[in-house]
């Protein structure tokens, strides 16, 4: 599944 | 978390440490682009707005460090070390970078919400925020070794995110096209610099443009 808006990086 | 991402973040921390160490020990910010530093603060503030509604120990700590250290660098450059900054060689037109990032953010965010548009703006702006610094090095034709170490560490940070994205895609089908495209562009912008850094600075010679 796309997780593209999770923003779990810096 | 994987080794590439961790190494990337460590290089980012190292770059900030090198920059602050250079400025405080030499009591000078000569050779450092104020415009690039101001763009980085803008990048961190617009990207890390989620500090207000998301908490994760590692990420939140790093976000606070990046915003805080960036603000501290700008404080040093506008306060104690202002006399050592020469605006006449820091002349890159940043309005085009900010304008371009703003247009892309408004056109292609993942969602049209203020936080998402600002996040997208920060991703694009980060990809080009080093340009005033590289332009300054190009204008003067040389850079102090410590300054080149700073630029290298900052470039290595996003370059290491690329194998991180490949690893994440292969292991969990994580896919963040905006970050990936902007991250590749960011790394390409550093590539000339990396080449000269490898061939000159690491062999003990001064950083001078051919």
- Whose tokens are 């002349």? That residue is B91
CA nearest neighbour of B16 among B65, B57, B58, B64: B65
Burial of B52 by CB count in 10 Å (0-12 exposed, 13-18 middle, 19+ buried)?
exposed
Residues in chain B with CB shorter than 8 Å from the CB of A10 are: 9, 12, 59, 62-63, 66
- In the predicted structure, residue B8 carries a pLDDT above the cut 70: yes
ipTM strictly over 0.90? no
Residue B105 Cα distances to B37, B85, B162, B171, B205, angstroms: 21, 32, 21, 29, 41
pLDDT at residue number B200: 87
Give residue-wise pLDDT tens across range B30-74: 999 999 999 999 999 999 999 999 999 999 999 999 999 999 999
Chain B environment of A7 (Cβ under 8 Å): 50, 119
Output the pLDDT for position B206. Answer: 87
Q: Across-strand partners of B208?
A: B142
Residue A5 has what pLDDT?
A: 62
């Amino acid at each position: 599944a796309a997780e593209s808006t999770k923003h779990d990086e810096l | 978390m994987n080794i590439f991402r961790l190494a990337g973040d460590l290089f980012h921390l190292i770059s900030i440490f090198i920059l602050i160490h250079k400025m405080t020990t030499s009591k000078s910010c000569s050779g450092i682009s104020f415009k690039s530093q101001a763009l980085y603060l803008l990048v961190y503030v617009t990207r890390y707005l989620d500090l207000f509604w998301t908490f994760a120990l590692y990420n939140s700590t790093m976000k606070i460090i990046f915003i805080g250290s960036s603000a501290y660098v700008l404080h040093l450059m506008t306060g104690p070390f202002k006399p050592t900054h020469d605006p006449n060689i820091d002349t890159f037109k940043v309005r085009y970078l900010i304008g371009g990032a703003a247009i892309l953010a408004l056109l292609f965010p993942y969602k049209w919400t203020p936080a998402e548009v600002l996040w997208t703006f920060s991703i694009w702006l980060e990809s080009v925020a080093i340009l005033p610094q590289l332009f300054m090095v190009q204008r003067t034709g040389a850079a102090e070794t410590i300054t080149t170490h700073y630029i290298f560490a900052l470039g290595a940070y996003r370059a290491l995110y690329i194998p991180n994205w490949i690893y994440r895609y292969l292991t969990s089908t994580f896919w963040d096209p905006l970050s990936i495209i902007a991250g590749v562009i960011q790394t390409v912008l550093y590539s000339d610099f990396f080449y000269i850094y490898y061939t000159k600075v690491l062999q003990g010679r001064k950083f001078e443009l051919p």
